[in-house]
Structures are given as C-alpha cells and as structure tokens.
C-alpha cells in the first residue's frame, strides 16, 4: 500500500458577487409585483401573500454576507431570477470544464506537477451539466491528461468522497497522481423565488492533486492519515431533477422540487450531532485526541452549524483560526466549500500540524479526512 499526500489545491472564484442587500432588493421587488398581481385572490384568501426577505435575517440565520456567482444580472432581474448561462456548442469546452480547468491549473502549479504526471481525473460535484460524456473526460482532454476520468456526485460531500476514491486508487497502485475537481454552479439549481433558501448558495470550483507520497515534491504537502465516510438516507434535502422528469408529465416538470428544496431546521438539528460524532469517532480510531487537531476545515453551509459542531467536539467555542469561515463571502458552494477553506487556510500551519477536512449535506452524507502537514 502506498501512502498518499495532497500536494496542491486550486480555486476558481467567479468575477461577480452579489451582496445580501442586492439579493434582498431583487427578491422584495418580485414579492411586491407578485402581491400586486394577485391582490384580489389574496384578499379572497385564495392565494397566500408572499413575505419579504431580510438582510438581517439572512446574516443572523446563516452568517452569509455575499456570494460569488457566474451571472449576477440574470439572478437579480426580478422578471427572471435565474442565471443566464448560454448553451455552448459541442465544439467548445463546457462551463463546468472551464471552471475546473482554472482551479486545476493552480492546483497543478502548487503541486509542482504537469498534466503528464496525472493518471486520472475525478469530477465530484452536486449537479452535472449533462449525462454524458463525463465532464471529467472533457477536463482530461482540455488539460491533455492521459489515463481515465469519471464523474461522481455525493452532493455537498462530493469532495471528501472523491478524496477517498482517489486515495484508494493511489494506495493500491492503480494511479500515481489524481486530479480531483469540484465545480459547483449552485445558482443554476437554486430557486431564487423561495424566501427560505434564495440566499444560501454561490458558485465556485476547487481542485486537489493527490499523489503517491514518495513522488511528491511540493512545499504544500499534507499526508492523508485516514478518511471516513457515512451516508444515511433522508428526504430533508432533495433535488428531484432528472432524466425521467419529461416522462412524468407537465405537472411534475413544473414542481419546484426539480430545484434544491430542504427542511433547513431539521437538517440543522439532525446533521450537526452526526458530524461531531463521526469526526470524534474517526479521530479516536486513529488514536488522535480531539485537542491535537489545530484546524477544522468544515463544510461551509451555515456559520451556526459550524460553531455548534466545534462546540460539541471541543466542549468550548472555536477560536477563529481553528475553524476558518469562508461562507461569509462565498455562501454555500456545496462540495467546494470545505476545500476552499483548506486552500485559503493551510500555508500558515507548520510541519506536523494536524487538521480535519469535513463535509456534510444531502443524502445525508458526511465525510471526514484527517491530514497532517509534511
Ligand atoms: N427573510 C426573512 N425571514 C425569513 C427568510 C428570509 N429570507 N427565510 C425564512 N424566514 C422566516 C421563516 O419563514 C420563519 O418564519 P416563521 O417563524 O414565522 O415560520 C423564520 O424566518 C425562521 O425560519 P427558519 O426556521 O427556516 O430559520 P432558521 O433559523 O432555521 O435558518 C437556514 C434557516 C439558514 C436554512 C438554516 O435552517 C440552515 O442553514 N439549515 C441547514 C442548511 C443546510 O446545511 N443545508 C444543506 C444543504 S446543501 C447540500 O447538502 C447539498 C445541496 C446541493 C447543492 C444545491 C445547490 C442549489
């Protein structure tokens, strides 16, 4: 069995960003129009008036202040409230591929590797642009990587599950180095007319180079000590978009459940203890006291969730450097979130430092990866 290291990470951040103030102004313009258009029906009690969104609520309930997006204008247009991302010809690289390549180039550069060193590409994310060919094979072609590529989806936990898949292939000698990318256009499957969730997500892509420890040369190496995964079925976060929608009739196709839907409170209550328990058990299995971990790069869905998870783990509040926050400016970028935190908050840590990268989300799915700086 070969030892595996993460030797480089990369990040693609879209150029445009939407503040809570801008998002709420657009949402409330939509609400005013809806309530005016339906005034009579609302007065008769046939239609429920929509309530306004609020900047103060969003920040208090989630910790999110802004989010990066691929297309700001389409989202903020109260007549549209959907990003405008024109279809590309089959001869052009797709947008998920483009984001992946941008993140991958930084990861390769930090790892001191070129495309020729990579044996396989895994694209792991919440929503894929198409059924086939795999986005991973497109990324492979765009970067000139030999070997193989495949796509996988474990919602917000796609990155940690992808890390375990890459580790497995490297450990048994099927690959020397693997590029894992997590391109997330969450705004493409978010219902911006839903007050409960319109503020939650943003767009980004991350990349991770995993390779055999004895071949790694970069200054940014982290031993993958162990990974632990858990899934537990729940209907509390769903997206029923799929290839059978057109077979189910028009009524089904127009159901909002073809976009992201959740029971946010239930998710909060159920997932936090599961995550704290899994990370605690994972560290114990590896004879590592919780107090030895210098940093937790947690999934970035909700600030209050992360504070609670750390409190359960440590028995006290986290110092800011122990559980870095990026969701204030990125919002929830699904599988990219914990990797963005890792990418931005790792270089200050001395050799020997211990950290845990953890994801959690739909499924439910939870991943924990224990890392030590080399
Ligand atoms: N403005 C003002 N008021 C609001 C708003 C708003 N925008 N939204 C809701 N309210 C109101 C509610 O109507 C409610 O009013 P009332 O008490 O009268 O009924 C009140 O505020 C409180 O609402 P909630 O109880 O819902 O508020 P919470 O404090 O629970 O906060 C959160 C809501 C932020 C959603 C919180 O529950 C949360 O973060 N939960 C966990 C979410 C989470 O982590 N989900 C994971 C999903 S991501 C994933 O796994 C993969 C998805 C793949 C990507 C999908 C991309 C689109």
Catalytic residue, chosen from 97, 125, 156, 272, is 156
The CA 266 to ligand 1 mean position distance, Å, reads 10
Read off the tokens for 354. Answer: 């211990």
- Which positions ≥6 away from 326 have C-beta within 8 Å? 300, 337, 340, 341, 344
For the chain, the C-alpha Rg in angstroms (whole number) is 21
Would you say residue 366 has pLDDT above 90?
Answer: yes
155 lines ligand 1 (CB under 6 A): yes
187 lines ligand 1 (CB under 6 A): no
186 lines ligand 1 (CB under 6 A): yes
**Known catalytic residue: 156?**
yes
Would you say residue 68 has pLDDT above 90?
Answer: yes
Q: Classify strands 177-185 and 203-212 as parallel, antiparallel or unpaired.
A: antiparallel
300 lines ligand 1 (CB under 6 A): no
Instruction: Give kind and range of the element (H or E) at residue 264.
Output: helix 264-285
Q: Which residues of 46-79 are buried (b: 16+ CB within 10 A; e: fewer)?
A: eeeebeebbbeebeebbbbbbbbbbbbebbbbbe
DSSP tag of 348? T
The residue to mutate among 25, 30, 196, having the most atoms of ligand 1 within 8 angstroms of its beta carbon, is 196
Q: What is the pLDDT of residues 313-353, one digit of tens each?
A: 999 998 989 999 999 999 999 999 999 999 999 999 999 99
Q: How confident is the model at residue 240 (pLDDT cuts 50, 70, 90)?
A: very high
Residue whose CA is closest, atom 12 of ligand 1?
A: 196
The residue to mutate among 51, 264, 298, having the most atoms of ligand 1 within 8 angstroms of its beta carbon, is 264
Q: What is the pLDDT of residues 142-153, one digit of tens each?
A: 999 999 999 999
| CB-CB neighbours of 9 under 10 Å | 23
Specify whether the CB–CB gap between 331 and 17 falls below 8 A: no
Give the pLDDT confidence score for residue 252 in this predicted structure.
84
Q: How confident is the model at residue 249 (pLDDT cuts 50, 70, 90)?
A: confident
335 lines ligand 1 (CB under 6 A): no
Give the pLDDT confidence score for residue 259 in this predicted structure.
95
Read off the tokens for 332. Answer: 């929830």
Give the pLDDT confidence score for residue 190 in this predicted structure.
97
- Which CATH number is 222-373 given? 3.40.47.10
Q: Which atom of ligand 1 is nearest to the CA of 301?
A: 44
User: Average model confidence (pLDDT) for the chain?
Assistant: 97
69 lines ligand 1 (CB under 6 A): no
Q: Which atom of ligand 1 is nearest to the CA of 195?
A: 7
Domain ranges of the chain: 222-373
Residue whose CA is closest, atom 2 of ligand 1?
A: 53
188 lines ligand 1 (CB under 6 A): no
Read off the tokens for 6. Answer: 């993460």
Give the pLDDT confidence score for residue 323 in this predicted structure.
96
Give the pLDDT confidence score for residue 126 in this predicted structure.
96
Question: Angle at Cα 105 formed by Cα 102 and Cα 107, nearest 5°?
Answer: 110
Residue whose CA is closest, atom 38 of ligand 1?
A: 264
CA distances from 97 to 105, 122, 151, 303, 308 (A): 12, 12, 12, 30, 36
Would you say residue 250 has pLDDT above 90?
Answer: no
Residue whose CA is closest, atom 19 of ligand 1?
A: 196
* Mean pLDDT, range 34-55, rounded to an integer: 97
pTM for this model (two decimals): 0.96
Would you say residue 251 has pLDDT above 90?
Answer: no
* Mean pLDDT, range 149-170, rounded to an integer: 98
Look-up: residue for tokens 């474990």? Answer: 154
Q: In the Cβ-directed half-sphere of 193, how many Cα atoms lie within 13 Å? A: 15
The CA 125 to ligand 1 mean position distance, Å, reads 22
308 lines ligand 1 (CB under 6 A): no
């Amino acid at each position: 069995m070969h030892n595996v290291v993460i030797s480089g990470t990369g990040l693609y951040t879209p150029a445009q960003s939407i503040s809570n103030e801008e998002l709420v102004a657009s949402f409330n313009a939509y609400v005013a129009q809806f309530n005016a258009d339906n005034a009579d029906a609302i007065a008769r009690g046939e239609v429920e008036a929509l309530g306004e969104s609020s900047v103060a609520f969003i920040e208090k309930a989630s910790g999110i202040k802004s989010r990066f997006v691929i297309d700001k204008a389409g989202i903020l247009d109260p007549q549209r409230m959907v990003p405008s991302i024109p279809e590309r010809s089959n001869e052009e690289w797709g947008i998920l591929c483009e984001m992946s390549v941008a993140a991958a180039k930084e990861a390769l550069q930090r790892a001191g590797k070129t495309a020729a060193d990579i044996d396989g590409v895994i694209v792991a994310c919440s929503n894929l642009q198409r059924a086939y060919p795999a986005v991973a094979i497109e990324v492979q072609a765009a970067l000139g990587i030999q070997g193989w590529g495949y796509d996988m989806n474990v919602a917000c936990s796609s990155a940690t599950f992808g890390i375990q898949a890459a580790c497995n292939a490297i450990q048994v000698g099927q690959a020397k180095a693997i590029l894992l990318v997590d391109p997330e256009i969450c705004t493409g499957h978010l219902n911006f007319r839903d007050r409960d969730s319109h503020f939650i997500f943003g767009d980004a892509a991350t990349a991770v180079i995993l390779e055999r420890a004895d071949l790694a040369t970069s200054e940014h190496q982290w031993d993958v000590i162990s990974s632990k995964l858990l899934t537990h079925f729940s209907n509390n976060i769903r997206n029923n978009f799929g290839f059978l929608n057109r077979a189910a009739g028009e009524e089904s196709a127009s159901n909002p459940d073809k976009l992201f839907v959740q029971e946010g409170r239930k998710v909060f209550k159920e997932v936090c203890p599961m995550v704290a328990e899994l990370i605690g058990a994972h560290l114990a299995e590896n004879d590592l006291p919780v107090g030895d971990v210098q940093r937790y790069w947690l999934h970035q869905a909700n600030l209050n969730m992360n504070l609670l998870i750390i409190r359960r783990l440590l028995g006290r509040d986290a110092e800011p450097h122990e559980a870095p926050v990026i969701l204030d400016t990125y919002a929830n970028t699904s599988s990219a979130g914990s990797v963005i935190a890792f990418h931005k908050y790792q270089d200050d840590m001395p050799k020997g430092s211990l950290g845990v990268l953890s994801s959690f989300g739909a499924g439910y799915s939870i991943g924990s990866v224990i890392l030590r700086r080399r």
